[in-house]
């Protein structure tokens, strides 16, 4: 997936457990089939999972999760993957890692949850997260999600060029520039998840039960969490997501415009990045770009 990723197998996880968390060393370790962009996942017995960063940009997530998720967990209407234990790097593995509870459920699809229910419940999560006291939280800066979206400008323009005829470049560029024209966030920063794609949600029994992968967690512009309108919630349920969230937080048009940018930027940059390595991720990006262009009337 990444040219500089660190590969991990079950044998390595067993050795790390034996050396650092021997209380779990006798449990079976099996890889999780679902593909993640920045972590390898391994079941430990029936109730636990090891989260092993696969690339340097994810190296700080174990510590971030351990510090901040306990603070947030009691304030949102879903379960969060609060670490039970942290692991140290070794000569065989360079990153800190974590052990969390295995959370039941599956990625939302059109068959395991009503799209309108998902829209309601995801909006409720976003609204609750944004309402948590953000004092002392880690600020999002530079090109991090939650900082001004224009930080991605050079990368997006390069991605549009690299995508070639896979997208309608002129329309994509017009959509991106429309997002850049929105004024910056000038209100108080809020806690943001920053990556509310379907793969980071779990549904069980027809309801949203957990939100996972807080690698982009921080305090910044709420617009970064409006991404689901264009990338996660079904098109027919997107107005429900906005209405429900507007009832809770009443974000203005400029915030939604920046949110469109936070949907468009990772989608566009992901198309050339994943085209040959993880085609499913590239196709997801194409779908999101299509949704944004349709939303702006640029798909005609």
In tens, the pLDDT along 160-200 reads 999 999 999 999 999 999 999 999 999 999 999 999 999 99
List of residues 6+ apart from 141 with CB closer than 8 A: 147
| 107: in domain | no
The candidate with the shortest Cα–Cα distance to 271, out of 253, 292, 241, 255, is 292
Task: Check whether 292 has a pLDDT greater than 90.
Answer: yes
Phi and psi torsions of 115, nearest 5°: -55, -35
Q: Is the dihedral of CA 108, 114, 117, 119 positive or negative?
A: positive
Q: Is 1 domain-assigned?
A: no
What digits encode the pLDDT tens for the residues 30-79?
999 876 789 999 999 999 999 999 998 889 999 999 999 999 999 999 99
CB 171 within 8 A of CB 243: no
How many other β-carbons are positioned within 10 Å of the β-carbon of residue 9? Answer: 12
Q: Are residues 83 and 229 in the same domain?
A: no
- Does residue 184 sit within a domain? yes
Tokens of 8: 């991990």
For residues 276 and 216, membership in a common domain is answered with: yes
Q: Report the C-alpha gap between 107 and 233 in whole angstroms.
A: 12
Residues 148 and 123 occupy one common structural domain: yes
Check whether residue 54 and residue 119 sit in a common domain.
no
> What H or E segment, with its residue span, contains residue 210?
strand 207-211
Give the number of domains in the chain: 2
- Residues 216, 217, 219, 222: what is their CA dihedral angle, to the nearest 10 degrees? 70
Q: Within a domain: residue 110?
A: no
- Which of 101, 136, 157 terminates a domain? The answer is 101
Q: Distance between CA atoms of 257 and 81, rounded to whole angstroms? A: 30
- CATH number, domain containing residue 255: 3.90.1200.10
Q: What is the pLDDT of residues 76-128, one digit of tens each?
A: 999 999 999 999 999 999 999 999 999 999 999 989 999 999 999 999 999 99
Comparing C-alpha atoms, which of 143, 149, 179, 140 is closest to residue 260?
Answer: 179
Q: Quick one: CA dihedral 79, 83, 89, 92, positive or negative?
A: negative
The CB density around residue 21, as the number of other CB atoms within 10 Å, is 17
Half-sphere CA count of 274, side-chain side, radius 13 A: 18
Taking the C-alpha atoms of residue 284 and residue 270, their distance in angstroms, rounded to an integer, is 9
């Amino acid at each position: 997936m990444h040219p500089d990723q660190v590969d991990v197998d079950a044998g390595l996880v067993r050795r790390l457990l034996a050396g650092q968390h021997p209380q779990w060393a006798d449990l079976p370790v099996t890889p999780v089939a679902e593909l993640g962009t920045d972590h390898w996942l391994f079941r430990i017995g029936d109730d636990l999972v090891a989260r092993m960063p696969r690339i340097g940009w994810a190296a700080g997530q174990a510590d971030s999760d351990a510090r901040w998720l306990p603070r947030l967990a009691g304030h949102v209407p879903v379960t969060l993957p609060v670490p039970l234990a942290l692991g140290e790097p070794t000569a065989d593995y360079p990153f800190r890692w974590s052990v969390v509870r295995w959370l039941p459920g599956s990625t939302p699809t059109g068959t395991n949850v009503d799209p309108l229910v998902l829209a309601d419940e995801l909006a409720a999560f976003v609204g609750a997260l944004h309402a948590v006291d953000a004092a002392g939280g880690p600020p999002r800066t530079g090109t991090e999600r939650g900082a001004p979206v224009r930080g991605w400008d050079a990368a997006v323009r390069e991605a549009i060029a690299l995508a070639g005829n896979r997208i309608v470049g002129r329309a994509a560029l017009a959509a991106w520039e429309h997002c850049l024209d929105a004024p910056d966030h000038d209100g108080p920063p809020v806690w943001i998840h920053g990556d509310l794609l379907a793969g980071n949600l779990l549904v069980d029994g027809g309801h949203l039960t957990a939100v996972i992968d807080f690698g982009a967690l921080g305090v910044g512009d709420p617009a970064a969490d409006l991404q689901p309108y264009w990338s996660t919630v079904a098109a027919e349920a997107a107005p429900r997501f906005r209405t429900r969230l507007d009832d809770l937080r009443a974000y203005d048009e400029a915030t939604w415009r920046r949110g469109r940018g936070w949907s468009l930027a990772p989608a566009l940059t992901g198309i050339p990045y994943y085209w040959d390595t993880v085609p499913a991720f590239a196709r997801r990006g194409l779908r999101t770009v299509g949704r944004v262009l349709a939303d702006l009337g640029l798909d005609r």
